[in-house]
């Protein structure tokens, strides 16, 4: 049994790839366009032509696809073999036999593997490093792949103190066994639905728009994001200042920050200083 499969079997890790495999059934042109839009917005560009793009933890493969469609030469990898299959499936659908998109299985915590990849204009890792089991090592190794003058685009869970500790226990319960998964889903998904409904009503918004327009959030799916959130274990988080200070010491400076006060991701775009 491979290491990843063993960890999932033992309840030490969520099977992200199987969740993303189900997401591919709802992937369409509109969602892909929204993914492209989010890349262009955060990277402040209209295209990625001539750029080398590394997708650390490619998940569904959606953002590797978006980067390739924007003109980048893409290298995708993931620790989860199901995620590797998802990414390969999207390549087969949209860029069959394309030499500008490589996909493999690997871990951001494997220093030899990371050093073997070379340097990239853009290193992208959205909502991944905090699920490795060693956030700060993952941050340290991810920055090795950025060219001088290149960009590092990360999304890291916001640290909410005791509340983050609570969610870690929820995620661990979800992954522990079938009963833990069932109870977690039965308790929290109705809570998400009801709390969202009440918030929308109080704000005089149409509650249905929360779901019909969710795809505008990076092209994602609300249900698959809920499952990703509930099961996303291992789980770590960090305050924005801690992330910014860490990468400053590595020779990066912040050019864009999209932060949250909730339990979602803080998004960072760093530039690597010229030497």
Tell whether 77 and 207 lie within a shared domain.
Answer: no
CA distance linking residue 21 with residue 87, whole number of Å = 9
Tell whether 133 and 45 lie within a shared domain.
Answer: yes
Tell whether 133 and 245 lie within a shared domain.
Answer: yes
Tell whether 111 and 221 lie within a shared domain.
Answer: no
Tell whether 222 and 243 lie within a shared domain.
Answer: no
Task: Decide if 187 contacts 180 (C-beta within 8 A).
Answer: no
Other beta carbons less than 10 A from residue 179's beta carbon? 9
Tell whether 54 and 172 lie within a shared domain.
Answer: no
Of 69, 95, 123, which Cα lies nearest the Cα of 252? 123
Q: What is the pLDDT along the chain (275 residues), one digit of tens a residue?
A: 478 888 887 888 999 999 889 889 889 999 999 999 999 999 999 999 999 999 999 999 999 999 999 999 999 999 999 999 999 999 999 999 999 999 999 999 999 999 999 999 999 999 999 999 999 999 999 999 999 999 999 999 999 999 999 999 999 999 999 999 999 999 999 998 888 888 878 888 887 887 777 766 777 788 888 898 999 999 999 999 999 999 999 999 999 999 998 888 999 999 998 76
Tell whether 105 and 222 lie within a shared domain.
Answer: no
112: domain range?
3-158+236-272
Tell whether 92 and 209 lie within a shared domain.
Answer: no
Tell whether 59 and 135 lie within a shared domain.
Answer: yes
Tell whether 170 and 138 lie within a shared domain.
Answer: no
Q: Give this prediction's pTM.
A: 0.91
What are the b/e assignments for 236-246, b being 16+ CB within 10 Å? Answer: bbbebeebbeb
State the total domains in the chain: 2
Tell whether 25 and 131 lie within a shared domain.
Answer: yes
Who's near 125: CB < 8 A, 6+ residues apart? 55, 56, 57, 108, 142, 153, 154, 155
Beta-bridge partners for 257: 268
Question: In the chain, what is the greatest distance between 2 CA atoms, to the nearest angstrom?
Answer: 54
């Amino acid at each position: 049994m491979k290491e990843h499969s063993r960890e999932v079997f033992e309840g030490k890790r969520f099977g992200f790839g199987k969740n993303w495999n189900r997401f591919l059934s709802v992937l369409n042109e509109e969602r892909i366009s929204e993914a492209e839009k989010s890349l262009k917005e955060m990277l402040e560009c209209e295209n990625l032509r001539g750029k080398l793009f590394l997708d650390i933890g490619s998940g569904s493969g959606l953002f590797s696809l978006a980067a390739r469609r924007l003109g980048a030469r893409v290298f995708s990898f993931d620790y989860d073999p199901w995620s590797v299959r998802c990414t390969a499936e999207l390549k087969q659908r949209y860029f069959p036999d394309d030499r500008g998109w490589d996909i493999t299985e690997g871990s951001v915590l494997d220093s030899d593997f990371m050093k073997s990849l070379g340097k990239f204009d853009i290193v992208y890792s959205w909502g991944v490093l905090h699920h490795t089991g060693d956030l700060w090592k993952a941050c340290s190794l991810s920055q090795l792949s950025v060219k001088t003058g290149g960009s590092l685009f990360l999304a890291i869970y916001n640290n909410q103190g005791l509340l983050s500790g609570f969610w870690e226990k929820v995620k661990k319960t979800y992954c522990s066994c079938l009963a833990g998964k069932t109870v977690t889903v039965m308790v929290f998904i109705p809570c998400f639905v009801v709390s969202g409904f009440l918030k929308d009503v109080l704000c005089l918004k149409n509650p249905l728009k929360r779901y019909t327009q969710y795809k505008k959030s990076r092209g994602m799916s609300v249900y698959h994001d809920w499952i990703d959130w509930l099961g996303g274990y291992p789980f770590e988080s960090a305050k924005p200042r801690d992330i910014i200070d860490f990468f400053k010491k590595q020779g990066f400076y912040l050019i864009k920050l999209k932060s949250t006060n909730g339990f979602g991701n803080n998004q960072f775009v760093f530039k690597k200083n010229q030497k």
